[in-house]
Amino acid sequence: METSITKARKTERNHQFGIAPSQQSIGGPASLYILQKEVRWRMLRVLHVDRSLVFQKYLKEIILRCGHTVESVATKKEALQRLAQGDVDMLLCGMEFDDGDADSLIMEMSHVSSREVPVLIVTSTDSLTLREHFFSLGVADYILKNEVDEARLRRFFEAQAAEDELSRYMRNLRVAVLDDSKVIIRLLHSIFSMYGFTKVESFQDPQELLARTESYDIYLIDMVLPGTSGDQVVNVLRERFPEAVIICMSQFTGEKSLTSVLLAGADDYIHKPFDGASLISRLKINVRAYKYRKQLERMVLIDPLTELYNRRYLFEQLEQEEAKARRYGRAFSVIMVDIDNFKEINDTKGHLTGDRILQSVGRVLEQSVRAADVVGRYGGEEFLLILPETEEEAARIVAEKIRKNVVSSPWPDGVSGVTVSLGVAGYQKEEGYEDLLRRADARLYQAKREGKNRVV
């Protein structure tokens, strides 16, 4: 069984490579991390507020064809009563009612509903001033009645109703918004809130964002900023955080502006004004590419059978530890581990049982060391552990602990008596990591010659 330490270690490693919990599987092929996709759909409960009975009927037919439920009311009072019941997922409303208007309804919604319900304004009146005003109130979108059709509303509803794995993954990402417009910041917070994002921070001053030492997963950067340009900010962020998703925003169009932000290091560009569905769609495209890239990196660096680091990653870590040891005089040690009589297990119990033994030994190794230690499959039935900041004698104690834990562990398929031999070596001054590995390997085979199930 996995301990909480082992699970935490795997969770941390999966997060490093962008693997969501729903994509993790014990011992499954690495390719499944990319091929798996789970999509859940939910029926939305829509409340439509409009004093036109004709338009109520028209919109109701569209919403029902889209597979959602709808209740139509004509007054603000009725709308607030329904919202107070707490079972409305989305509000569509016109500008004027017999007893009020959209402004007052939106302002009073927070007093009657404990949930933040996304609002879509559907009206015959349009102006830039009106749009900015409603966006400043947190409205998710603004559609003219003569532009309402089933295809557009269906896309909007689908964006709300889709509970796919990528959407759930995105909601846990940290987002930084940089824009000197309070209206745009409020609009973006409303959109992110509507789509379930909970880790969104906004900045109006570029220097305030650049002063932050922590990284964000997604940056939304305005191109026109006080005291600097957006592409300068992008350039600094890309240099500091090469893995982040950076999307620029601007109301200006043209090949020159687009080229400059992409050359500065942005992943994408979105033109203002934009609606929630458009923004989230662009985010999904970029996050999906980012996520798949991390998953491919994981496939390159993780052994698919044991879910431990593979030989390539181990050598990368050895190079880093050697560099730290040479520059700062820091100690580190390695432990080579080999399963005793493994060929006999394969020959008598079969290769599937052999695979399960490899997985089980890998878990024992992870449970026996610190989170800072690196555990990997070196090849075949051999494992390698890298212990930073650890002298050879301390590493020998860890190796003895591992040996005892293997002896006392239960094994699958009726296998008993599984043991390991271990060779320990500490880094010596000016030594290359290849020499360190050769010493550990020689000691491992000395342990084998001396009777196995021992540490040298």
Residues 446 and 351 sit within 8 Å (Cβ to Cβ): no
Q: Could you identify the residue written with the tokens 């039935």?
A: 381
Domain boundaries, the chain: 42-160, 172-300, 311-449
Distance CA 293, CA 282 (A): 17
CB 423 within 8 A of CB 447: yes
| 360 bridge partner residues | none
* Closest CA relative to residue 437, chosen from 347, 322, 342: 322
Other CB atoms within 10 Å distance of the CB of residue 296: 15
Spatial distance between the Cα atoms of 440 and 384, rounded to a whole number of angstroms: 10
Closest CA to 141 of 194, 179, 103, 181: 194
User: What pLDDT was estimated at residue 108?
Assistant: 86
User: Residue 388: CA atoms inside 13 Å, Cβ hemisphere, count?
Assistant: 16
Q: Give the architecture (CATH level 2) of 311-449.
A: 2-Layer Sandwich (3.30)
Cα gap 290→166, rounded to integer Å: 11
Per CATH, which fold does 172-300 belong to?
A: Rossmann fold (3.40.50)
Tell which CATH classification among 3.40.50.2300, 3.40.50.850, 1.10.12.10, 3.10.180.10 matches the domain 42-160.
3.40.50.2300
Alpha-carbon dihedral angle through residues 89, 92, 97, 102, given to the nearest 10 degrees: 90
Q: CB–CB of 221/230 below 8 Å?
A: yes
CB-based contacts of 369, cutoff 8 Å, min separation 6: 375, 385, 387, 398, 402
Q: What is the DSSP string of 388-411?
A: ET--HHHHHHHHHHHHHHHHHS--
- Fold matches, 42-160 and 311-449: no
Which H or E run contains 174?
none
What is the four-CA torsion angle of 188, 190, 191, 193, rounded to 10 degrees?
120
Give backbone dihedrals phi and psi of 329, rounded to 5 degrees, phi first. Answer: 70, 25
Classified as helix, coil or strand, 171 is helix
**Using an 8 Å Cβ cutoff, are 342 and 350 in contact?**
no
Residue 29 has what pLDDT?
35
What is the C-alpha separation between 352 and 354, in angstroms, rounded? 5
Two structure tokens written together for 120: 């879509």
**pLDDT given for residue 254 in this prediction:** 56
pLDDT in tens, the chain (456 residues): 455 555 556 555 555 555 444 444 333 333 333 333 444 456 888 999 999 999 999 999 999 998 889 999 999 999 999 988 888 888 999 988 989 888 889 888 877 765 678 888 898 888 877 877 787 677 777 888 888 888 888 877 776 665 556 677 787 889 999 998 888 888 888 788 777 788 899 999 999 999 988 889 999 999 888 888 888 899 999 999 888 899 988 876 555 566 777 788 888 888 877 767 678 778 888 887 777 777 777 778 889 899 999 999 999 999 999 999 999 999 999 999 999 999 999 999 999 999 999 999 999 999 999 989 999 999 999 999 999 999 999 999 999 999 999 999 999 888 999 999 999 999 998 899 999 999 999 999 999 999 999 999
| Backbone angles phi and psi of 144, in degrees to 5 | -80, 145
pLDDT, position 15: 52
C-alpha angle 450-331-379 in degrees, rounded to nearest 5:
50
Q: Which amino acid is at 133?
A: H
Question: How confident is the model at residue 413, as a pLDDT?
Answer: 86
Full-model pTM: 0.50
Burial class (CB in 10 A: 0-12, 13-18, 19+), 167: middle
Query: What is the rounded CA–CA span in Å between residue 126 and residue 117?
Result: 23
How far apart CA 166 and CA 49 sit, in angstroms, is: 32
The rounded distance, in Å, linking the Cα atoms of 75 and 78 is 5
Q: CA 170 → CA 12, 82, 150, 159, 192, distances in Å?
A: 17, 31, 27, 13, 10
